[in-house]
Amino acid sequence: MSSDRLYFRQLLAGRDFAVGDPIATQMRNFAYLIGDREAGECVVVDPAYAAGDLVDIAENDGLRLTGVLATHHHPDHVGGTMLGFTLRGVAELLEQSPVPVHVNNQELSWVADVTGIAPSELTGHQHGDTLEVGAVRIQLLHTPGHTPGSQCFLVDNRLVAGDTLFVDGCGRTDFPGGDTDEMFRSLRYLAGLSGNPVVYPGHWYSEEPSAALSAIKDNNYVMRPQTLEQWHMLMPG
């Protein structure tokens, strides 16, 4: 895939879209647009804030939105109510652009409960499934731990990691559905990916907005434990 054909944009909520939204600014979520410039199609990852802004950005770049990819069910990624705030998220986007919403099978009921979208309107996937956007192939990787159905997306040696892996640290496991041991196994799986992909996280919690997997393995403390016992010493409880 040539760099001219692949369309990939990392967008910071509160800066690149949802400008002026205090919740978006505070939460520092990333959304992503991924597509094929030649085919004129793209998908959006985690459109929780100002979904119309994301559709407009894609259209201004000459692309038509054909789907939504959800890394996991938390409201700051797909919309819903949490911690006293409500985001319209994916439900708002579907009112403007009725497209498939791709989630992991383990996340179907969670996404439906949080967003109010009927499970029948969601497209469930399993680990290793691929989604084609024009000629762009996106591989869906099931990485539970932060939530039961958390998933990452691998495309053209880029890893969109959601809240499974940040440049510094990883997602919390103390919310409903979180599992510390599953998180360890998911992190070890990601550490073993070939090709040294660039990791693009779900939040900007570090100095840099992305980093090569090799650098994260060298510098991110959550990647140091090699055994479950070592992990338990780092992450007790």
pLDDT tens for residues 126-141? 999 999 999 999 999 9
Q: What is the mean pLDDT of residues 94-122?
A: 95
Q: pTM for the whole thing? A: 0.96
Task: Give the pair of three-digit tokens for residue 100.
Answer: 């498939």
Distance CA 171, CA 111 (A): 18
CA dist 203 to 18, 32, 166, 167, Å? 15, 11, 7, 9
List, for residues 5-47, the tens digit of each pLDDT value.
999 999 999 999 999 999 999 999 999 999 999 999 999 999 9
Contact 72, 151 (CB under 8 A): yes
Check pLDDT > 80 for residue 147.
Answer: yes
List, for residues 154-163, the tens digit of each pLDDT value.
999 999 999 9
pLDDT of residue 235: 86
For the chain, the maximum distance between any two Cα atoms, rounded to a whole number of angstroms, is 50
Q: Give the 3-state DSSP-derived string for the chain, with helices as H, strands as E and coil as C.
A: CCCCCEEEEEEEECCCECCCCHHHHHHCEEEEEEEECCCCEEEEECCCCCHHHHHHHHHHCCCEEEEEECCCCCHHHHCEEECCEEECHHHHHHHHCCCCEEEEHHHHHHHHHHHCCCHHHEEEECCCCEEEECCEEEEEEECCCCCCCCEEEEECCEEEEECCECCCCECCCCCCCCCHHHHHHHHHHHHCCCCCCEEEECECCCCCCCEEHHHHHHHCHHHCCCCHHHHHHHCCC
Q: How far apart are the first and last CA of the chain?
A: 44
Which of the four pLDDT bands, split at 50, 70 and 90, describes residue 83?
confident
Judged on CB neighbours under 10 Å (0-12, 13-18, 19+), 86 is exposed
pLDDT of residue 213: 98
- Mean per-residue pLDDT over the chain, rounded: 96
List, for residues 175-216, the tens digit of each pLDDT value.
999 999 999 999 999 999 999 999 999 999 999 999 999 999
Query: How many percent of the chain have pLDDT more than 90?
Result: 93
Residue listed under structure tokens 């900007």: 204
List, for residues 12-23, the tens digit of each pLDDT value.
999 999 999 999
Check pLDDT > 80 for residue 2.
Answer: no
